[in-house]
Amino acid sequence: MVRYTGVLLLLLTAGCASVASVPQAAQPPVVATQAAPTQPVATPAAPTTTPPAPKPAAAPVTPATRPAAPRVAAPREPATPPVVAAPTAPAAPQTLDLNSLEAQLRATKAIGLFTKMSLKNKVDDLMQQFRDHYEGKTKRTMTDLRRSYDLLIMKVLSLLQDADQPLASAIVSSRESIWALLSDQNRFFTL
């Protein structure tokens, strides 16, 4: 009987552990809405021995290791021009086409099923507004459409930014290219 009690306690502990690990998605609320490349802050280096050369073109910087790179390149010597820090800054903004974006939105687990359907309704409504605008069926101007588009993007981003930050960043990156697609009548009708 003591053995059973031990097993039961072990299982209870395991059950608690699995529940506690669930809200890991909401862990990084620090993420800002904009995925603009963070400025490499020139933090004064620790008073250790200064690096001989600030490691030019450190490596292909992956997003996970990005914060480490600018610290290494902290310009300690005032005479040397800070040429080195510049190449690491641009993080190769990835743009998406609509199909890829749609596929990723369908696949993400950050948004529930009902919310996805509701968003799809809104996208369809916006597309219909564009269609009506181009066919002269409405008095809605391009400025109005831009406002509606921005609002929809904001809604999507607010849903994604905490739970699927990479997709949120991708949407921010491709925001203008999608608008360019929608606001061009010829390209719009090829969609």
Partner 1 sequence: MNRRTAVLLQSLVVLALFVVPSAAQDEEALRKDLTAVIALQGLPCGQVVAVEKKAESDYAVSCKDGHLYRVYLNAAGRVVVETRK
Q: Can you give the binding site for partner 1, defined by CB under 8 A?
A: 4, 7-8, 11-12, 14-15, 18-19, 22, 111-115, 117-119, 121-122, 155, 159
CB 11, min distance to partner 1, A: 6
End-to-end CA distance of the chain: 69
| CB-nearer residue toward partner 1: 91 or 123 | 123
| CB-nearer residue toward partner 1: 51 or 112 | 112
Contacts of 156 (CB under 8 A, 6+ apart): 105, 119, 171
For residues 58 and 69, the answer to whether their CB atoms sit within 8 Å is yes
CB 55, min distance to partner 1, A: 44
The C-alpha torsion from 128 through 182 and 189 to 97, rounded to 10°, is -110
CB 112, min distance to partner 1, A: 3
Chain position carrying tokens 């960043």: 169
Could you give the residue ranges of the DSSP H alpha helices within the chain? 2-20, 68-72, 85-88, 98-107, 113-134, 142-160, 165-183, 185-188
| CB-nearer residue toward partner 1: 14 or 31 | 14
CB 114, min distance to partner 1, A: 5
| CB-nearer residue toward partner 1: 79 or 107 | 107
| CB-nearer residue toward partner 1: 23 or 47 | 23
CB 86, min distance to partner 1, A: 41
